[in-house]
């Protein structure tokens, strides 16, 4: 199974989950509301968001070839998220030696990606708002879903055993999405939207006096 990823999925529905439970990789039935299901289900959700961002980056790369690097990275991330989901959907005693997983190598690669792509970016003087390009906003969406997946992983780790690299990876990945969101705007020449405190709440320009 783990040497050949091309599985034959002949039946899409089985009716076995109609009672509100589902099967882990080892065959154990658990509630669909269990922390483990919440955790790898959110990783799956994140993968969908990454796919959307990847499409936007790939489109934009036709006009700006430098974006092709990020396009390739995001495809790699999609595979890694599936590997992460594989481990999260398996109880420790059922993990196969050849089963796909996340290791310190993937975490270290993310750190290299972050350092390299953050290097040319201007220093920040405020918090950044999503916007400027579609790819930027979709990468910010990836970042926030990734943070939620990380929180759920931490919650799961407090109750059950999971490899520590799962949390490490998601923590680093959310940082990477932040850098990548800035990087695409930088490469595409789009301005960064910086938070201006109170402007949205008051409807005033930053230096305008408040109404009496």
pLDDT tens-digit series, residues 79-88:
999 999 888 8
Domain with 44, as residue range(s), is: 30-119+126-190
Query: 171 — phi, psi (to 5°)?
Result: -60, -45
Q: Is residue 137 a part of any domain in this protein?
A: yes
Output the pTM of the full model: 0.85
| Residue 105 confidence class, pLDDT cut points 50, 70, 90 | very high
Q: Is residue 199 a part of any domain in this protein?
A: no
Q: 133, 185 in Cβ contact below 8 A?
A: yes
Based on the structure, what is the number of domains in the chain? 1
Q: Is residue 205 a part of any domain in this protein?
A: no
Q: Is residue 91 a part of any domain in this protein?
A: yes
How many whole angstroms separate alpha carbon 56 and alpha carbon 148? 23
- Alpha-carbon torsion (91, 97, 99, 105), positive or negative: positive
Q: What confidence tens digit (pLDDT) does each residue in 182-193 have?
A: 999 999 999 998
- Which residue, among 90, 117, 112, 106, has the nearest Cα to 180 in the 3D structure? 117
The two three-digit tokens of residue 202, written as one number: 């008051």
Q: Is residue 19 a part of any domain in this protein?
A: no
Q: Is residue 10 a part of any domain in this protein?
A: no
Stretch 72-80: mean pLDDT? 97
Q: Report the pLDDT value the prediction gives residue 33, as an integer from 0 to 100.
A: 59
The CATH number for 166's domain is: 1.20.1200.10
| Residue 205 confidence class, pLDDT cut points 50, 70, 90 | low
Q: Is residue 7 a part of any domain in this protein?
A: no
């Amino acid at each position: 199974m783990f040497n050949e990823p091309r599985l034959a999925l002949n039946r899409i529905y089985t009716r076995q989950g109609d009672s509100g439970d589902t099967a882990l990789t080892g065959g154990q039935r658990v509630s669909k509301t269990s922390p483990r299901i919440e955790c790898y289900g959110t990783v799956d959700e994140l993968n969908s968001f990454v796919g959307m961002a990847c499409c936007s980056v790939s489109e934009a790369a036709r006009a700006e070839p430098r974006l092709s690097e990020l396009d390739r990275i995001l495809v790699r991330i999609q595979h890694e998220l599936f590997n992460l989901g594989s481990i999260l959907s398996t109880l420790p005693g059922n993990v196969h030696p050849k089963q796909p997983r996340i290791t310190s190598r993937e975490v270290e690669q993310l750190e290299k990606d972050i350092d390299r792509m953050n290097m040319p970016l201007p220093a920040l003087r405020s918090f950044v708002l999503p916007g400027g390009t579609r790819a930027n906003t979709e990468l910010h969406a990836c970042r926030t879903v990734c943070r939620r997946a990380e929180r759920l992983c931490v919650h799961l780790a407090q109750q059950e055993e999971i490899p520590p690299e799962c949390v490490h990876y998601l923590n680093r990945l959310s940082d990477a999405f932040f850098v990548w969101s800035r990087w695409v705007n930088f490469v595409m020449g789009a301005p960064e939207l910086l938070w201006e405190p109170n402007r949205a709440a008051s409807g005033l320009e930053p230096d305008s006096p408040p109404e009496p």
